[in-house]
């Protein structure tokens, strides 16, 4: 049914205000983001077309600028709005993370790392640097590779630890394949980094592998 034929309380914006954002379908959420349709297509229909084109919300939200702007009804202004929304979400997660004692709230750091790394198309190795009270000092993406792997240099990690005066780290990397299961190479690297960082009194609390919506923790597996 075209938007203008819907009862007022069932239109996306009014429905959100009356029933909350969780009550909306994906297409209704996208319709609020779009605000208007295009000639011959109302905003709800356009939202459905976009979700089909990008295979769902995640595909839409991670689309490249070129792919996004090539769709009729979209353009640089809407792309900029989407990127601003995504960045606000990242910063909200980071803000929460910076106020958290990591070891007592591992779900907070994992949510942050999942958001940062799950959609990377190449393998990325990153670190959360912690102080002696296990609070986050900063987060850095240190090494970038191909879809098959990234070269990790322990000396560079040590240098970053000393620069940030870190007492501990949480290591993290993604598997672009989407499968979070650690490889034997991942396990060997972790053992090497525990030994190397231990030589400068930096503890490795965990190594987290990020897949497509799944996370494997070395600490939970008893591998650290």
CB atoms within 10 A of CB 67: 15
Q: Which CATH entry fits the domain spanning 104-221: 3.20.20.190, 3.40.50.10310, 3.40.140.10, 3.60.15.10?
A: 3.40.140.10
**Sheet holding 215-217: strands in order across?**
136-144, 124-130, 168-174, 203-210, 215-217
Q: What is the pLDDT of residue 175?
A: 93
Q: How do beta strands 203-210 and 168-174 pair?
A: parallel
Cα–Cα distance, 78 to 80 (Å, whole number): 5
Q: What is the pLDDT of residue 3?
A: 62
Q: Consecutive 10-residue runs of the chain (224 residues): their mean pLDDT?
A: 67 90 92 86 88 90 90 89 89 75 73 87 93 91 74 92 96 92 92 95 95 90 88
Q: What is the pLDDT of residue 138?
A: 92
Q: What is the pLDDT of residue 40?
A: 81
Q: What is the pLDDT of residue 140?
A: 94
Q: In Å, how far are 16, 34, 39, 113, 199 from 126, measured between CA atoms?
A: 37, 34, 46, 9, 20
Q: Residue 76, exposed/middle/buried by CB under 10 A (0-12, 13-18, 19+)?
A: exposed
Q: What is the pLDDT of residue 119?
A: 85
The domains of the chain are located at: 3-89, 104-221
């Amino acid at each position: 049914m075209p938007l203008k034929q819907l009862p007022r309380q069932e239109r996306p914006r009014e429905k959100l205000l009356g029933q909350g954002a969780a009550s909306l379908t994906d297409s209704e959420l996208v319709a609020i983001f779009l605000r208007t349709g295009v000639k011959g297509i109302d905003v709800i229909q356009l939202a459905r077309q976009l979700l089909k084109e990008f295979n769902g919300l995640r595909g839409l939200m991670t689309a490249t600028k070129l792919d996004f702007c090539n769709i009729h009804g979209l353009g640089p202004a809407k792309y900029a709005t989407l990127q601003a929304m995504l960045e606000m979400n990242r910063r909200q997660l980071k803000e929460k993370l910076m106020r958290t004692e990591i070891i007592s709230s591992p779900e907070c750091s994992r949510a942050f790392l999942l958001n940062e790394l799950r959609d990377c198309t190449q393998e990325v190795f990153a670190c959360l640097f912690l102080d002696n009270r296990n609070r986050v000092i900063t987060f850095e993406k240190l090494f970038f590779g191909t879809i098959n792997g990234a070269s990790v240099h322990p000396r560079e990690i040590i240098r970053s630890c000393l620069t940030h005066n870190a007492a501990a780290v949480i290591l993290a990397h993604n598997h672009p394949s989407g499968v979070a299961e650690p490889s034997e190479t991942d396990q060997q690297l972790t053992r090497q980094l525990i030994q190397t960082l231990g030589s400068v009194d930096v503890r490795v609390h965990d190594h987290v592998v990020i897949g497509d919506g799944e996370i494997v923790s070395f600490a939970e597996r008893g591998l650290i």
